[in-house]
Chains A and B, each alone.
Chain A
Amino acid sequence: MDWGTLQAVLGGVNKHSTSIGKIWLTVLFIFRIMILVVAAERVWGDEQQDFVCNTLQPGCRNVCYDHFFPISHIRLWALQLIFVSTPALLVAMHVAYRRHEKKRRFRNGEKIDIEELKNEKFHIRGPLWWTYTSSIFFRIVFEAVFMYVFYYMYDGYQMPRLVKCDAWPCPNTVDCFVSRPTEKTTFTIFMLAVSGICMMLNLAELCYLVIKICMKESRKTT
Chain B
Amino acid sequence: MGEWTFLGDFLEKVHKHSTVVGKVWLTVLFIFRMLVLGTAAESSWGDEQSDFMCDTQQPGCENVCYDKAFPISHVRFWVLQIIFVSTPSLVYMGHAMHTVRMEEKRKMKEAEMEARENKNGGDTYYQQKCSVAEETKLSGWDEAGGQIILRGSLLNTYVYSILIRTAMEVAFIVGQYVLYGIFLETLYVCQRKPCPHPVNCYVSRPTEKNVFIVFMLAVAVLSLFLSLAELYHLGWKKAKEKCSRSYKASPSTAPARLESAPQAERAQMYTPPPDFNQCLSSPNGKFISPFSNKMASQQNTANFATERVHGQEDAAGEGPFMKSSYVESPEVASECAAPAFPENYFNEKRRLSKASRASSKARSDDLSV
Contact = CB atoms under 8 A, between A and B. Distances in A.
Interface of A: 3-4, 7, 19, 22-23, 26, 29-31, 33-35, 37-39, 42-43, 46, 49-50, 52-55, 161-162, 175-183, 186-187, 190
Contacts of B10: 26, 30
A39 B193 CA distance: 28
Contacts of A187: 76
A102 B83 CA distance: 42
Interface string B60-93: 1011101100111101100110010001001000
Interface of B, helix, strand, loop or mixed by DSSP: helix
Given A19-B98, A52-B63, A177-B60, A182 B83 contact: no
B50 A50 contact: yes
B6 interface: yes
Interface of A, helix, strand, loop or mixed by DSSP: helix
11 contacts: A30-B90, A35-B80, A42-B75, A43-B73, A54-B194, A175-B59, A177-B194, A178-B63, A183-B67, A183-B73, A190-B80
A215 to B, nearest CB: 19
A213 B70 CA distance: 52
B63 A50 contact: yes
Contacts of B7: 30, 34
A88 B92 CA distance: 26
Given A53-B59, A179-B49, 7 more contacts: A3-B6, A22-B94, A43-B73, A50-B49, A180-B49, A182-B72, A183-B73
Nearest to A43: B76
Interface string B79-113: 11001000100100010001000000000000000
A52 B59 contact: yes
B71 A186 contact: yes
Interface in B3-21: 3-7, 10
Given A42-B76, A54-B194, A33 B70 contact: no
Contacts of B75: 39, 42
Contacts of B49: 46, 50, 179-180
Contact of B71 (A3, A19, A182): A182
